Structure 1
């Protein structure tokens, strides 16, 4: 699911970071007090629940569901695809389903214990280098506890687990230099370095380092550095040893809107308030020293991505070289947070349309009319899948021509973000069902 902060931005301003990373090199590690991962038995399989051809409350136009699954519990995550499996977390159990049939191939039970009267499970899934990372914990409204990060193979075996000692909300900001970076926060708003960000080694699940930061509400991870977005500031950390490089706090009244790390730089997108309208909207900082390299003004910056150069989303989509040189500008606007890129194009939203923009030239390849904010969320096979939470509608368009393949209208609350593979898209409903729709 999207973070609490990003969900509020989406509801209020049309924003919903997947921050790419392209800065090379390394640092000398510092000694750490690494934790020992817990040994666990292998995962077990379960019998699938009853399957039905159609999900309740889902209207499909242009296609029929390949399969539909319902679960005896509450879905806690978006679906995630790893190899030939699609995974979700139901309460505190990770399900690995056969992507072709929807049958349960394995389950894995997290050791998190939830008080039935006070608290609820919270979880997220991410896939990195063929491993499924499941972060499971307990939310108690204004606090959280018992967070565990599990590294699972596509076959459901647990490679390791890291049990956090912190009674805070956790999230995986990203992966870099062989580690997962995990900021933490609580619900008390503050600007000091009062929280903790830590890194977990991906090869064995030991803690590499922990560092004091502000409330980690979001972040970006590169090859050598990590950025942790806090209230009104960004902390920059070295990935090798967790060294606190610097804290960037913008002058005047401005909100941190986005961050990205790449080419030895930390990029920070700002949302200046009216009384500081003349301030910069984008700042590039040397990631080692914090010295400002360049800045951009007179632009609206909603999101930043660094798959190679810096891509800026807002009132226009910009592709900038690391030194700030503009390579191209796409003037119809676009929201780039989390949208899919491939070798040829990036996919975004502009003027109530899903559009494909050529990554080399910035030319529009095609445009398809949709609802107000149908954000592309996944690229699979020969299609791109978009979701409009307000309209509760998911669309699939062909990547070569933008022709609509199908659309699905879901009842209930804001639908989870869809996932996709070569054969189709996986949609979770607010009612707790998961269905596959073919391309």
Structure 2
């Protein structure tokens, strides 16, 4: 079975109001807390909850646009100082927070005829501890220096990488940071030392896995074509498989909060799992089409998107519907910034109210755009026209 995941300033005269506006933008970009700056995976932190402590208001305005000269495949990520994207023809590009290029790397392989062929990075990038991790469809994981783009190490999974690498926060001060990456075809996790690429452990093979494992609280959770959620301890111990059954394969990212995990299913449902007890607590079955987006998990609601064209919000306790927004297309994984939901739909960027799903603002980006990242107080997306675009809070 095959599953698919996927300003200009007018003159030099500046009023006092404009000066205050400039001050607040600079503050948001450079003086905010780390939670506002960094976005190390495509869906926020390693837990993939997709939330940011950033106030976006009711409208956004263009901050900058960068042309990467080739389709930008996946959501930008950031270490709080730089923004990293993968682009067509095997390229990884680093930008600063003003949209200026810092470095660019191109990666290729040699085919059987001796010709150089560009690698493809379908998996979202990830970054931590001064490193950027890029997984290719040929199964190679590259660890790049975040400041220079220099290759620190490479690792061969002997498979295909389509889910984002993720990282394990050390539980003890003496522990080294580790990174985990999934071999799609085998459904096997490879755990490596982040600094060296040394193999720490490998999981058992499960079944094809197109999604990204969530990592939090000493646990790793991911789904597969077996219609099950697989749970490991971060030391590599296999804890349990939570079977769902039916047409409930999981091909999206798994968000973790405490002992609970949330994932979309092929039958359209969103499921909540107790990964310690090994059971499904509830299933929200609003959609009849597949739900492979990664859900955003807030204090009260879980927000997710389905292939039926709707963005849904359900309550966390029982999964009961709270609101739905008709996106009129194919919505990607939503993210939440305080009381706002940010979601892209067929190349259009939307800003919704978290409380009731009311549309506040929208802007066409291109024919197709990645899901959004919240970086340095800005909303950043990549697009199929080769651009990386940033929007910031629009001040009155």
1:353·1:368 contact (CA, 8 Å) conserved in 2? yes
Check whether the contact 1:81–1:420 (CA below 8 A) recurs between aligned residues: no
Q: Secondary structure at the match of 1:312?
A: strand
Q: Does 1:200 find its partner at 2:198?
A: no
Deviations 1:199-234 (A, max 9, x none): 223354332321122222112313033333322423
Kindly indicate whether residue 270 of structure 2 is the aligned counterpart of residue 282 of structure 1: yes
CA distance in 2, matches of 1:374, 1:90: 14
Higher share of residues assigned strand: 1
Which is bigger in relative contact order (C-alpha 8 A, separation at least 6)?
2
Q: Secondary structure at the match of 1:418?
A: strand
The CA distance in 2 between the partners of 1:349 and 1:157, in whole Å, is: 32
Matched, 1:293 2:286: no
Maintained 8 Å contact 2:179/2:194: yes
Query: What's 2:182 paired with?
Result: 183
Query: Which residue is 2:295 aligned to?
Result: 305
The equivalent of 1:324 in structure 2 is 318
2:260 matches 1:260: no
How far apart, in 2, do the equivalents of 1:107 and 1:349 lie? 26
Match of residue 155 from structure 2? 163
CA contact (8 A) 1:313 1:333 kept: no
TM-score scaled to structure 1, two decimals?
A: 0.57
Q: 1:173 to 1:247 in 2, by over 3 A?
A: farther
Aligned match of 2:203? 211
* Alignment check: 8 A CA contact 2:65 2:390 kept: no
Query: C-alpha offsets along residues 3-35 of structure 1, whole Å, 9 cap, x if unaligned?
Result: 98224xxxxxxxxx74866599xxxxxxxxxxx
Distance 1:271 1:66 in 2: 35
Report the count of equivalent residues.
322
Is 2:150 aligned against 1:148? no
Compared CA separation, residues 417 and 231, structure 1 to 2 (3 A): farther
- RMSD over aligned CA atoms reads 4.6
Larger Rg belongs to: 1
**More displaced 10-residue stretch of structure 1: 119-128 or 167-176:** 119-128
> Secondary structure at 2:120's aligned position in 1?
strand
Query: Deviations for 1:96-132, whole angstroms, at most 9, x for unmatched residues?
Result: 46665856x5556769655544865223562434644
Structure 1, unaligned runs of 5 or more: 8-16, 25-61, 187-193, 273-279, 388-393, 395-413, 424-439
Q: 1:22·1:308 contact (CA, 8 Å) conserved in 2?
A: no
Question: What does residue 229 of structure 1 align with?
Answer: 223
**CA 1:19–1:285 in structure 2 vs 1: closer, same or farther (change >3 Å)?**
farther
More off after superposition, 304-313 vs 377-386:
377-386
After superposition, the Cα gap between the structure-2 partners of 1:77 and 1:374, relative to the gap in structure 1 and judged at 3 Å, is closer
Counterpart selection for 1:121 from 119, 137, 157: 119
Cα 1:94–1:232, aligned 2, differ >3 Å: closer, same or farther?
same
